[in-house]
Amino acid sequence: MKQKSKLIAVCVMMLFLSFSPVCAFAQEICNPTPIAISSGLIFEEEKQDATFEDSRIVYGETIPFADISVIVSRKDAEGNTLQDYSESFEVGSLGIFSISLPLKLGTNYIDLSVSSQCYDNATYSFEIKRMPLSVKEQLKNMVALPGIGQKNK
């Protein structure tokens, strides 16, 4: 009888363990460090407007004394990432920051990370395409007149 009750207890325990909820937690960012960019980059757009300039100035604000790191990189012909620029700095007591990001011709990949005490680290990725100045000159010389173009046949 004791063996039968032990067997039933083991079966009930196995049944209980097999139906208990199992959860695997990935690292969630539930309290990211707040950051607002007022000029230079737009959060809602991963791909930013193309530019002809060799740099982009980014202005914004975050928590006072937050740490910000920025990496600007691009990809070579084989698809390998080449880091062109990297900078880390601490925001001042007002929480306002400004940084000038150098841009190479082609697509520039920008990773901006912000962290602060009592907040989770947050990373944002952006793409900015820098066009050659020859394209700018071609666009300046173009004339677009309404009504002139291919006629429908």
Residue 86 falls within a domain, yes or no? yes
Residue 144 falls within a domain, yes or no? no
Residue 13 falls within a domain, yes or no? no
Domain range holding 77? 35-131
| Total residues found in the chain within this entry | 153
Residue 82, token pair as written in the block: 């080449």
Residue 92, token pair as written in the block: 């001042």
Residue 7 falls within a domain, yes or no? no
Residue 43 falls within a domain, yes or no? yes
Partners of residue 79 on adjacent β-strands: none
Amino acid at 63: I
CATH code of residue 87? 2.60.40.10
Residue 107 falls within a domain, yes or no? yes
Residue 22 falls within a domain, yes or no? no
pTM for the complete prediction? Answer: 0.68
Look at residue 90 in the predicted model and tell me its pLDDT.
94
Q: How far apart are CA 62 and CA 35, in angstroms?
A: 4
pLDDT digits (tens, 9 = 90+) for 48-103: 888 888 899 999 999 999 999 999 999 988 889 899 999 999 999 999 999 999 99
Domains of the chain: total: 1
Cβ contact 42:123 at 8 Å = no
Look at residue 61 in the predicted model and tell me its pLDDT.
93
Residue 110 falls within a domain, yes or no? yes
Look at residue 29 in the predicted model and tell me its pLDDT.
54
